Amino acid sequence: MGGPRFEPVRAVRAYERVVEQIEEAVESGALTPGERLPSERELMVQFSVGRSTVREALRVLQARGLVRSRPGDPNGAEVLPFSPVVLKKSMTTLARVSELSLGELVQFRMVLDATAVLLAARLRTEEHLAEMAAAVDDMKAADAADAAAFGAADAAFHDAVARAGGNKLIQVCTDVVRAVMAGLVEDRLARAPDREALMRRGVAHHEDVIAALRAGDGPLAARLTRQSMYDYYAGHLPAEERAALRALLE
């Protein structure tokens, strides 16, 4: 008793150790985006593992969005800047396997987008406001039949708001959830009979939000944002989910 307390060891795969080392180098900043990893044959020498081990490690790193490798590239795998595509992917998986309802997604965005505008009311600059106004102009200019252009402009607006709010986590999450929602319901929305009216109302709402932000009235901007989200999606929700959403309109 009182001897050394040995810890149970779990067999850790060779490729995992390769992943850990490269991952640490990337996340710590020792490798910056745009830099290149050594070639696979060079890596197998440095780690003293086989090439298949190196390749499996690179696949995992690629799946995590940290590097990208192309066939024949003499420079080796490229270190990538952070991108939310991996988050989007795993959240899309979450939506599919746990069967997230549209109502849950709308609820999530109602809360986070409203928070973003609330924060933006304190921190917004003239540049931010100009970006938002430009996005709204694009929404107006979009052909009524071109749902993709309208959606892209809408996304640009919300991204500008989120950036103005200054919380990168909220910015990424709203972006991810918006993309997931678009993938789930874009065709349904594009065929809605009252689509044009919804689009016009959305533009008007966005202009009201800009006015509130310019005036520095965060709570008003947040209310407008929640109401806008509710109006846009409520028609596509069953009654009980609509009720859950109204609980957030305060």
The candidate with the shortest Cα–Cα distance to 168, out of 99, 121, 119, is 119
Question: Binders of a copy of itself among 18-77, rule CB under 8 A?
Answer: 26-28, 52, 55-56, 59-60, 62-66, 71
Nearer to a copy of itself, 136 or 180 (CB): 180
Using rule CB under 8 A, residue 94 touches a copy of itself:
yes
Q: Judged by CB under 8 A, which of 21, 46, 90, 125 binds a copy of itself?
A: 90
CB of 170 to a copy of itself, least distance (A): 6
- Nearest CA to 220 out of 210, 229, 230 is that of 210
Q: How far is the CB of 87 from a copy of itself (least distance, A)?
A: 5
SS3 79: strand
With binding defined as CB under 7 A, does residue 225 bind DNA? no
Interface positions, 2-41, toward DNA (CB under 7 A): 11, 13-15, 39-41
| Nearest Cα to Cα of residue 210 among 202, 173, 200, 149 | 202
Alpha-carbon span 114 to 188, nearest angstrom: 25
Per-residue DSSP letters for 16-44?
HHHHHHHHHHHHTTSS-TT-BPPPHHHHH
* Contact of residue 69 among a copy of itself, DNA, none (CB under 5-8 Å per partner type): DNA
For residue 95, state whether it binds DNA (rule: CB under 7 A). no
What part of residues 41-80 is at the interface with DNA (CB under 7 A)?
A: 41-42, 44, 48-53, 55-56, 58, 69-77
Nearest CA-CA partner of 181 in 245, 107, 97: 107
Residue 165 touches DNA, criterion: CB under 7 A? no
Task: Give Cα separations from 168 to 112, 158, 242 (angstroms).
Answer: 12, 13, 29
- List contacts with DNA (CB under 7 A): 11, 13-15, 39-42, 44, 48-53, 55-56, 58, 69-77
